[in-house]
Each structure stands twice: as structure tokens, then as C-alpha cells.
Structure 1
Amino acid sequence: MGRLFWKFFLFLWLAQLLTMFGVAGAVWLSHPERPSAAIAGGPPPEFAPGGRPPFDHPPGPPRHGPPPVVPPMLAWPLLAGSMVSLLFAALLAWYFSKPIRSLSAAFDAAAAGRLDIRIGAAMARRSDELADLGSDFDRMAERLQKLLEAQRRLLHDVSHELRSPLARLQAAVDLARQQPERTAEFIDRIERDSARMDALVGELLTLARLDAGIADGVEEDVDLAEVLADIVDDAGFEAGARRCRIETDCDASLPARGSRELLHRAIENVVRNAVRHSAEDSRIDICAHAGDGRLRLTVADRGPGVFDGDLAAIFDPFFRSGSRPAGAGYGLGLAITRRVIQAHGGEVSAGNRAGGGLVVSIELPAA
């Protein structure tokens, strides 16, 4: 038993004892003559032969002498009440202290790295604040476990993505030394791999800033219609190389609040992803409308789409769906998009078109 149990136990038991003795003492002191007569073996005054009720006697002088003793007829109830109060105090103290001991053990286990521990099932029979605290602990432990697992996966993926270009750089340097006449060719390869690593590091820094909340608090008036126009104008060159066309259906004004730079990057990632995975000679549809205090944007391509089981995972860092061909990206663009949209109080989701292709939907609060 812990210290909290004994504190609850002693406090409750003493409170019950004091209440019980106080009530018994008040009853006994209010009728001191009746128990004394019963103890002496005589009948009560109102039933004595030839006697009169006590209220018929004129009041006499106060009596002096030793205080009356507690009669045995009151001692047994007091003793039984003490035992009952002792039992109930122990049960109540155990009822409150047991879940707290479980919580303490769970916190110790979580501090030691065992984030898979759960205590909500052990408190399922309770319906009080302590049970709610146990459920809150389970949610906290589950969230921490997912964050740590995501960090481990991220570290593994970053190491894997950096290892390949670094190996190519080392190979290019070795070949340049062995074949000086091809130095220019190897320098071009080194420049390409260096640019890829620079892009990867830049995306990782952006993702880290968003996860750390550094980008929070950037507030300015942003017209998403202007942002979309800039993105479509830039993406048109890449789409033209694939003989794709981008068609838009947008309101003239889409006012929002937030960071223009981050929102531009988030939407651009979705549009460029659609261009990259669209089939040649196909169309990309972009729709953006305001209504009910929300801004709704959809980007639909006509590519291979995504497996239904991967629709939620495509927003995770370094995830690549098996239904899509390998591209030049690292799988960080949509992860950055989700972080940015969530930081602005919005939501992003993905689904497959009935006729083939992927549809990414973004919803943001309107200014």
C-alpha cells in the first residue's frame, strides 16, 4: 500500500469515528438519567410504582458528583460502528489509490522507453475522472510512440536517400581521376547529384520547420486566386513538355490568411505532382471556389491513380505508392503540403477518379 492509501484511509476513518462519537456523546449527554437507572436495575421513574413522570417533579438543585460513565448498552454499538467505519475507510482508500498506483507505474514505464504500455483497459469498469486520466495517458503514449516511430523511419529514409547520391559522387570523383579526358562529363554528374541533395536537404528543413511550429504565427492577407495563377503559369512549362494542358475553374478572388510563401509551396507541390504523374496528351483540372466560410481547391490528374490502401499514406514523408512510376521526387512534397495546410487550420485528402487518376482536395478557412 502506498502513502496515498494510508492518507485516505486515516482521514476517512478519523472523520467517521469523530462523527460517530460526536453523535453518540450528544445522545448520551442529552439523557444522562435514563441509562443510569437502567444500569442500577431499577425501572425508569415514569414506570416506578406510585411514581410520577419526571416532568411533574419540580426542578431541584444541580447534582454534584462524578460524571456518569458510558453504559455498556452504548459501548457495543460504538465498537461495531468503529469496525464498520474501519472497513469502509480501507475500501474507499483502496478504490482511489489503486488507479493512481497504476498510473504511476505506467509513467515509470513510459519514462523508461516502454511506450507500448496501456492502462485504459484496466480502468474500463470505472466511470470517473481517474478513468478519463487513464484514457488520456493511453492517447499520450500512443501519440509519442507514433512520433518516435516516425522519427526512426525518417532517419532511415534520409540516410537511404543521401547514401545513393553520395555514392555516385564518390564514383564520379574516382572515375575523373582515372579518366581525365572525361572530367567534364563527370563534373556534370556531380553537379546534378549535388543539386538533388541540396533539394532534399531544403525539403527536410522545411518539413522540420513545420513540425517544430516555427512557421506558425506568419499571418498576412493572401489571395489564393493570385497564388494559383502564378503556380499554373509556372507549371505550364513542365506540362507543355509532356503535351499536357492545365484547365482552371476558379473564383476571381479567394481571400485567406496565412503565409503566402508556404501556401504557394503547398499548392505547387500538388500541381507539380499532378503534372509529373499525368499521362501524355491528357488534361489536369484545377477548381477553386469559396463558400460557407471555406475555400475548396481540387487538383485532378489523369494518371495511374493510387492504390486505395495508400491514399492516406501518400502524405507521409518518403512514401511512394507502388501504383506510380518512380520519379525524381523524394516523397516529401505531399508531406509538406499536409503540414502547411494543417498549420493554416485546413484539411487535405486524396481520392481516385472514376475514370482514372488522382484527385487531391484542399480545404482552408476563408478570411
Structure 2
Amino acid sequence: MPRFRLGRLYWKFLCFFFLAQLLAVVGVGLAIWATKPVHVFDHPPPHESRFQGPAPEGGPVGGPFAGPPGGPGEPHPPGFLPRPAKLPIEHLLAGAVVSLVFAALLASYVARPIRRLKDALRAAGGGKLSPGLAASMGRREDELTELCQEFDHMATRLAHLMEGQRRLLYDVSHELRAPLARLTAVIGIARQQPDRLEDCLQRLERESERMDRLISELLTLSRLEAGMVERIDEPVIVAEVLGNVVSDAEPQAAQLGFNLEFEGEDMAAVRVMGDPELLHRVFDNLLRNAMTHASAGKWVRLCLSVQGETACVQVEDRGPGVLSSETEQIFQPFYRGSQTSGVNGHGLGLVIARQIVENYGGQIKAENRPEGGLRVSVYLPMTAL
């Protein structure tokens, strides 16, 4: 168990609590002492014995510590003087000691979790993002424990983000290394075989275009994650956007021999709030991703439907699909499913699509079709006309 070090906050709490309780003890003690004096005879009258007998009926008992012979409010007889009681030093000291102990315990109870939080923040500043601060609070349930729980949540989130950034940097380096290596090889061939210069130039052009697409997608993803893309909220007719996407993809589909189907073309009343250009990019990425990975089935369908207050767009294909354990991983940057080997692409289209959809309060998920192939569903909240 780590040793608890006393910090400045502990001593501040200790002094504050101790002084507050000490003032309370002294104030109450002095108030009691001042309001209850003890009366004694300074010199007993000569005609009275020092030890009197039993008091008359209704009168005080005689003696050196007897009260005044008269009742309350009556004048003191000759020789009778009021004198305050002795200052209760022992009681005040006992109260001060008890107050000090209680203040020390209370200060430790308050300062200990703050000290642990400070140590955790210092460790986080050094790159050690390990949760578990809330567990060290034991069974206490208060705002300090909730603060520690929020710190654990933040540390976990930051650890995941940092791991994602490291993985993304590695993947980007890997993706850029391959086309750069091919460019270097093509340049070498052009120098050794000048007669193949035209072919080498064409290969250089293709590789440069591939690198340009990769960098463009990386910039788009980075801007979306950082919130640097200007947000446009306007009513968008989903069927109109999907119709434009299908029209743009028809030449490529005809060249590849694909059969494109679009259901829900007449649903002009289905509208969502968003940016038409970004939503066009979402559905275009999904459609071209399906055409890339479902070349064997030669069939892709877009279906628009309404589920309650949500617009649902589904893109289906008859390709090999993905493993059930990969339906979430395919939305990670540069991830390629185990059944999509040999397929061109950078693995960023689905990532960009998810980021755009979630920015507008929607959801996107993937699942395998029972008939075979993959189904990607996009859910966006509808807006009133």
C-alpha cells in the first residue's frame, strides 16, 4: 500500500477544521462559565457559625458554598460576595485535543483522494494512462469519488485515442511505402529501358493518382474527426441523393457487368437534415465499396425505407461478406477483411462514411445477409417537411 504523503491541502484543511472546532469549544465553554457564577461568603457573620444547621423551610442550606439567604432578585446580605467560578482549563484542553484529532481525520478524509488524483494526473502527463483511481476510493460515495470515476473514463478514452493514432500512423506509413516503392521501381525501369518510357509514365501516373486519393481521404477523415468541416444543416431529400449516386455509378457498373437496383425512388417525402454533398459521399462510398468487393455476384441493391422517425438506407451485395467478428472492425482505418484479399482500396471509405453519419446523429452498421453477401445499413433521423 503506498504511503500517504501529507500535502499543503491537508494542513490547510487541518488548521481550518481545528480552528473552527476550537473556537466553538472555547466559545461554548466561556458562555457556560460566564452565565453560572458560584457565590461564596467572603467573611461569615460573627454571630453565625461556619457550618450552619439545616436551612429553614424554603431557604438554602448553609455552608461556605451556600447561595444567598434571600431568594432570586433579593439584595445580598452583608459579607456575601458573588465570585465567578474557576476557569475550566482542563475541560478546554480536553476539548481542544478531541477537536484536533477529529480535524486531522476529517482533513485526511478530504485531502487523500485529492492527493491521489494529483498523482494520477501527474502520471497521465507522463503518458501513463492507467484507470483504477475510482477503485482506490473504497466504499466511499461522494463527489470526489465521482470525480475519480470521470478521470478513469477520461484516461480510458485517451488511451484508446492514443492507440488509434499510433495505429493510424503505422498504417499510413505502410500505405505510403508501397506506392513509393513502386514509383522507385518504375523510375529504375525507365532509366534501364528507355524504350518502355511511355509505359513507365502511365504507371507513374496511376501510382500518383492512387497516392493523391489516399492523401485526400486521410485529409477528409482528419478534418471530420477534428470538426473542421463546415457543418451544413438543411433538409435533404434522401431519394434524390440516392438517385444521383446511382446515376454516377451506372457507367462503371455497366463496364463491370453489375446489375444495380434502387428501391424507394418514389419516396420524395423522406427528408433528413444534413449536407447534400457529404451525404452523397456516404452513399457513393458504400455503393462503390460494394461493387469493389462483390465482383463475383455482379449485383448491388440500394433500398430506402422508413422505420418510425428514422430514414433507413441499405446497400446490399452478393459478395463473400465478412466474418461475424469483423462487422465492427471494417469501420476502422485501413482495415481489410480476411475475405477481401487482393482487392484494391485503402480501407478508408467506410470510416469516412461512419464519421459523417455520426456527425448528423445517425448510425451505420454492417451485417451478413442470410442469402450471402454484406448489408450496410445507414439510419438518419428524419425531419418534418
Report the TM-score, using the length of structure 1 for normalisation.
Answer: 0.90
1:196-215 equivalences under 5 Å are: 196-215=210-229
2:44 is matched with which residue? none
2:372 is matched with which residue? 356
1:114 is matched with which residue? 128
In 2, the alpha carbon distance for the partners of 1:64 and 1:144 equals 82
1:187-266 equivalences under 5 Å are: 187-250=201-264, 251-266=267-282
CA contact (8 A) 1:255 1:366 kept: yes
SS at match of 2:343: coil
Match of 1:270 among 282, 286, 311: 286
Match of 2:35 among 26, 30, 34: 30
Q: How far apart are residue 282 of structure 1 and its match?
A: 4.6
Alpha-carbon displacement from aligned partner over 1:54-73 (angstroms, at most 9, x marks no partner): 53561459x999973534xx
1:151 aligns with 2:165: yes
Alpha-carbon displacement from aligned partner over 1:273-326 (angstroms, at most 9, x marks no partner): 112222535532322223543222221222111112111111111011112233
1:88 is matched with which residue? 102
Match of 1:46 among 53, 60, 70: 60
Unaligned runs of at least 5 residues, structure 1: none
1:76 is matched with which residue? 90
In 2, the alpha carbon distance for the partners of 1:226 and 1:278 equals 25
1:289-308 equivalences under 5 Å are: 289-308=305-324
Q: How far apart are residue 127 of structure 1 and its match?
A: 0.8
CA contact (8 A) 2:179 2:211 kept: yes
Unaligned runs of at least 5 residues, structure 2: 1-5, 42-49
Q: How far apart are residue 132 of structure 1 and its match?
A: 0.9
SS at match of 2:367: strand
In 1, the alpha carbon distance for the partners of 2:356 and 2:76 equals 94
In 2, the alpha carbon distance for the partners of 1:202 and 1:64 equals 105
SS at match of 1:324: coil
CA contact (8 A) 2:70 2:76 kept: no
In 2, the alpha carbon distance for the partners of 1:108 and 1:317 equals 31
Percentage identity across paired residues of the two chains? 44
1:175 is matched with which residue? 189
Q: 1:147 to 1:51 in 2, by over 3 A?
A: closer
Q: 1:54 to 1:247 in 2, by over 3 A?
A: farther
In 2, the alpha carbon distance for the partners of 1:53 and 1:324 equals 112
Q: How far apart are residue 168 of structure 1 and its match?
A: 1.1
In 1, the alpha carbon distance for the partners of 2:70 and 2:222 equals 92
1:323 is matched with which residue? 339
Q: 1:51 to 1:11 in 2, by over 3 A?
A: closer
Match of 1:142 among 153, 156, 159: 156
CA contact (8 A) 2:232 2:274 kept: yes
CA contact (8 A) 1:120 1:135 kept: yes
In 2, the alpha carbon distance for the partners of 1:234 and 1:267 equals 11
SS at match of 1:20: helix
Q: Which amino acid aligns with 2:312?
A: R
Aligned residues: 360
SS at match of 1:47: coil
In 1, the alpha carbon distance for the partners of 2:262 and 2:82 equals 105
Q: Which amino acid aligns with 2:309?
A: G
Report the TM-score, using the length of structure 2 for normalisation.
Answer: 0.86
SS at match of 1:95: helix
Q: Which amino acid aligns with 2:21?
A: Q
Q: How far apart are residue 117 of structure 1 and its match?
A: 5.0
CA contact (8 A) 1:353 1:359 kept: yes
Once the two structures are overlaid, the 10-residue window that deviates more, 226-235 or 87-96, is 226-235
CA contact (8 A) 1:243 1:281 kept: no
Match of 1:11 among 12, 16, 25: 16
CA contact (8 A) 2:68 2:76 kept: no
Q: How far apart are residue 245 of structure 1 and its match?
A: 1.8
2:357 is matched with which residue? 341
CA contact (8 A) 1:300 1:358 kept: yes
SS at match of 1:46: coil
SS at match of 1:286: strand
Once the two structures are overlaid, the 10-residue window that deviates more, 7-16 or 108-117, is 108-117
1:286 aligns with 2:302: yes
Q: 1:42 to 1:323 in 2, by over 3 A?
A: farther
CA contact (8 A) 1:289 1:297 kept: yes
In 1, the alpha carbon distance for the partners of 2:280 and 2:80 equals 99
In 1, the alpha carbon distance for the partners of 2:51 and 2:373 equals 105
Please identify the structure whose Cα radius of gyration is greater: 2
In 2, the alpha carbon distance for the partners of 1:46 and 1:262 equals 100
Once the two structures are overlaid, the 10-residue window that deviates more, 277-286 or 148-157, is 277-286
Q: How far apart are residue 98 of structure 1 and its match?
A: 0.5
In 2, the alpha carbon distance for the partners of 1:66 and 1:14 equals 33
In 2, the alpha carbon distance for the partners of 1:207 and 1:235 equals 23
Alpha-carbon displacement from aligned partner over 1:100-121 (angstroms, at most 9, x marks no partner): 0111111111111212354122
CA contact (8 A) 1:236 1:245 kept: no
SS at match of 1:55: coil
Q: 1:24 to 1:181 in 2, by over 3 A?
A: same
In 2, the alpha carbon distance for the partners of 1:216 and 1:97 equals 45
CA contact (8 A) 1:239 1:246 kept: yes
SS at match of 2:379: strand
